[in-house]
Amino acid sequence: MAGSHTDTHCPYCGLQCALRLESDGTELAVTPRDFPTNRGGLCRKGWTSAELLTSPHRLTEPLVRQADGALGAASWEEALDTVGRQFRTIRAEQGADRIGVFGSGGLTNEKVYQLGKFARAAVGTSRIDYNGRFCMAAAAAATTRAFGLDRGLPFPLEDLDNADSIMLLGSNVATTMPPFLKHLRRAQASGGLIVCDPRRSATAQLTDEGNGIHLQSAPHTDIALLLGLTHIVFAEKLADVEYLESRTTGAAALRRSVAAWWPERVQHLTGVPASQLRDTARRLAGGRSYILTGRGVEQHTDGTDTVTAAINLALALGLPGRTGSGYGTITGQGNGQGGREHGQKCDQLPGCRSIDDPAARRHIAGEWGIEPDKLPGKGVPAAEILRHLGRAEGVSALMVNGSNPAISGPNASAIRDGLKRLDFLIVCDFFLSETAAFADVVLPVSQWAEEEGTMTSLEGRIIRRRRARPAPSGVRSELWVLRELAARINPAVHFDDDPERVFAELSRASVGAPADYSGLDYSVLEHEEPAYWPYPAGSTGTPRLFLDSFSHADGRAHIRTVVASPPPPSSGPLLITGRLLEHYQSGAQTRRVTELLASAPEAQAEIHPELAEKHGVAEGDQIVITNEHGRMRATAHVTPNVRIDTIFVPFHFPSDQSVNLVTSDATDPLSGMPEFKSAHVSISRLSGTQ
Ligand SMILES: Nc1nc2c(c(=O)[nH]1)N[C@H]1C(S)=C(S)[C@@H](COP(=O)(O)OP(=O)(O)OC[C@H]3O[C@@H](n4cnc5c(=O)[nH]c(N)nc54)[C@H](O)[C@@H]3O)O[C@H]1N2
Ligand SMILES: Nc1nc2c(c(=O)[nH]1)N[C@H]1C(S)=C(S)[C@@H](COP(=O)(O)OP(=O)(O)OC[C@H]3O[C@@H](n4cnc5c(=O)[nH]c(N)nc54)[C@H](O)[C@@H]3O)O[C@H]1N2
Ligand code: SF4
Ligand SMILES: [Mo]
């Protein structure tokens, strides 16, 4: 195609596949580029991502709630003044902590940094958190506890290429990151792909024909499974005793804690045959092995402990901190990694610094030109912000940047009620998401190919996002919006809207921090040289972490023993939730892409033939799924690929097809992660197809 082209990365997930956006002046086209994560591959979402830019659904002017209750077009001046006035009034009358800010792992590093600075230095609130709390927060808490640092993959993805065995726990990369499969081929060819999932997911099916092992455990029994595997490792003398001695603390307690988890007991609890458990442990011990976790094991009220059990198994085998083996979590969102580093977590300042650390507070306050004691303290995690919306103990105003919690938050009907209760809701988005539809002010912002910025991929590698075309007139960049709002709320603090300068500020703010970016600037990142953090000034970055020592002061990995909570009394089937290939998250973007919507237009519930028969449900029937939280509607898809006791529903759909109408907002005390992946439900047939 003649015309211009820009080399950039996919707007969606954490794999950050490289692509080229070509324009002949009227049409836009996407082609894949070669890059270590995607090796020239793209999934359907990547291929169709250009449609997001030209979608007729795009917001192109600010919207403000009118006297008649409808959203109506407004000038930027009017919309920004309204927000400024409301924030000033609420802060003066109710206190800054009555204003909440809800960020996202979809934002560039620059926006994440600016959003945290906006909340804490312009508004002065501690009430900031983000959707990553619903994503890999449990793994972040567990890896920080075990290794002293949270980088999802502490090694380049390409290291997987040489593995003999790869264990995927609650991860369905064949659907959620298709080009990732290129890195599993050797393990598959040597029979070493091990997938733990209550469904015969697309990824689990890759273990067929001698390519590996599918552990089809009951939902939410992963801790028992992992304790059982660790038991076998010790019982069969497969543990790396020398490694445990020299590189960890707590190994003796670990050995004791798994003593009673013999395989037959684990089989009884999980449904996984003892012989499969033994095969798995032997395989993992027998070569270059990796253990990777996904949302299936992380999104539980004991998610941190579940990941800890996976890390403990990896440590018993001596995998982490060595070339050619390891543990990692597969970060999901485009900037899910950077999103948890630069200061939108309720307990962190930029660089993954603790907000309770006086030296960190001094450093950041100095960078922002405020007194350290003016920096708010620790806030509350996302689910707690959402649980108390519009109530005395919560926030009365909320600003949302890059999330759609009316669909994606746990116990969504309560969130929708909360959003309605708020005195003031402002949403920055490029579409009128289901959350934006509740807003008092909606600000249209530019999107991926209209902005410069950086993203930190699932490998901890910093890459450039490139501007290929101007945003539609009427649309503004989020950095500009934050600068303008800050000027109306606290003009004393300087806010820039130039991404390169914001990155320079972020780099300075991160000097000496765990996530140190201080050796990076836009010119270093110009030619896609590999740049893995920590990247202190004068270094060339850190592709592999922990090779010499872990990040705790004593240099060792800290083993914490965990216990398996007893399974809740069973009443009806267990609902699990997750993803389809076609849709991204709340679906706010992909439901607006013609091809993707046509291919997956509605919520289907995967249900086993025997369970379907028991409830008189046939393929294509409308069913209702209910529990104490609410009810949702789905179309039955009868398939032997789920366990008999389990129903699977994706969470991408709106209105009464939102599966989060029946999920609980109970959270993991250690990470704030909600229980997205198991809920007791009843099902009934609403209508038939015949
Ligand atoms: N197409 C698509 N791709 C995406 C996304 C998307 O929305 N759509 N989102 C991106 C993001 S942000 C994320 S976080 C990643 C998520 O990527 P994944 O973690 O791969 O996605 P999920 O489908 O949420 O969950 C994975 C699997 O966990 C299984 N599971 C459910 N409950 C349990 C359990 O109790 N134990 C075990 N062992 N397994 C269980 C489910 O059956 C499912 O197959 O995907 C990223 N990529
Ligand atoms: N039941 C169930 N619920 C889940 C999950 C599950 O597995 N099961 N998974 C959870 C996980 S892992 C995640 S990550 C969350 C994700 O769920 P959400 O946080 O809702 O994520 P998105 O749907 O990506 O929402 C992003 C919104 O922000 C907009 N947006 C995208 N980029 C930008 C930007 O740069 N700036 C601004 N201002 N807006 C932008 C999009 O148009 C969209 O409206 O869902 C969680 N919810
Ligand atoms: S796998 Fe992720 S990054 Fe790659 S094309 Fe698909 S959505 Fe985009
Ligand atoms: Mo996620």
Q: Nearest 5 degrees, angle CA 24-CA 26-CA 32?
A: 55
What's residue 567's pLDDT? 73
Q: How many Å lie between the centroid of ligand 1 and the Cα of residue 267?
A: 24
Nearest Cα to 462, choosing from 536, 550, 535, 364? 535
Give the global pTM: 0.98
Query: For the chain, which residues score pLDDT lower than 70?
Result: 1-2, 568, 688-690
Nearest Cα to 451, choosing from 518, 402, 519? 402
Q: How far is CA 558 from CA 84, 230, 343, in A?
A: 47, 16, 26
Nearest-atom number in ligand 3 for the CA of 179 is: 1
Ligand nearest to the CA of 8: 3
User: What gap in Å lies between CA 666 and CA 300, rounded to an integer?
Assistant: 9
CA 478, distance to chain mean position in Å, is 21
Which H/E stretch holds residue 673?
A: none
Nearest-atom number in ligand 3 for the CA of 180 is: 1
What's residue 124's pLDDT? 98
Name the pairing type of β-strands 664-667 and 63-65: unpaired
Q: How many Å lie between the centroid of ligand 2 and the Cα of residue 329?
A: 19
Q: Across the strands, what pairs with 193?
A: 166, 212
Could you read off the pLDDT of 26-73 as tens digits, one per residue?
889 999 999 999 999 999 999 999 999 999 999 999 999 999 999 999
User: What gap in Å lies between CA 524 and CA 653, rounded to an integer?
Assistant: 41
Q: How many CB atoms lie within 10 A of CB 92?
A: 9
What's residue 207's pLDDT? 98
Q: How many Å lie between the centroid of ligand 4 and the Cα of residue 419?
A: 22
The response to whether residue 607 sits with its C-beta less than 6 Å from ligand 2 reads no
Residue whose Cα lies nearest atom 37 of ligand 2: it is 402
Ligand nearest to the CA of 673: 2
User: What gap in Å lies between CA 85 and CA 241, rounded to an integer?
Assistant: 63
Residues with CB under 6 A from ligand 3: 10, 12-13, 15-17, 38, 42-43, 45-46, 177-179
CB 579 within 8 A of CB 135: no
Q: How many Å lie between the centroid of ligand 1 and the Cα of residue 217?
A: 15
Nearest-atom number in ligand 3 for the CA of 47 is: 5
Q: Which amino acid is at 527?
A: H
Residue whose Cα lies nearest atom 14 of ligand 2: it is 135
What's residue 687's pLDDT? 75
Q: How many Å lie between the centroid of ligand 1 and the Cα of residue 155?
A: 21
Cβ-based neighbours of 55, under 8 Å, separated by 6 or more: 431, 592, 593
What's residue 571's pLDDT? 73
Ligand nearest to the CA of 333: 1
Average model confidence (pLDDT) for the chain? 97
User: What gap in Å lies between CA 216 and CA 168, rounded to an integer?
Assistant: 12
Could you read off the pLDDT of 470-482 as tens digits, one per residue?
999 999 999 999 9
CA 290, distance to chain mean position in Å, is 21
As a whole number of Å, the CA-based R_g of the chain is 24
User: What gap in Å lies between CA 534 and CA 540, rounded to an integer?
Assistant: 9
Q: Which amino acid is at 506?
A: L
Ligand nearest to the CA of 13: 3
3-state secondary structure of 686: strand
Q: How many Å lie between the centroid of ligand 1 and the Cα of residue 220?
A: 14
Which residues keep their CB under 5 angstroms from ion ligand 4?
135, 332
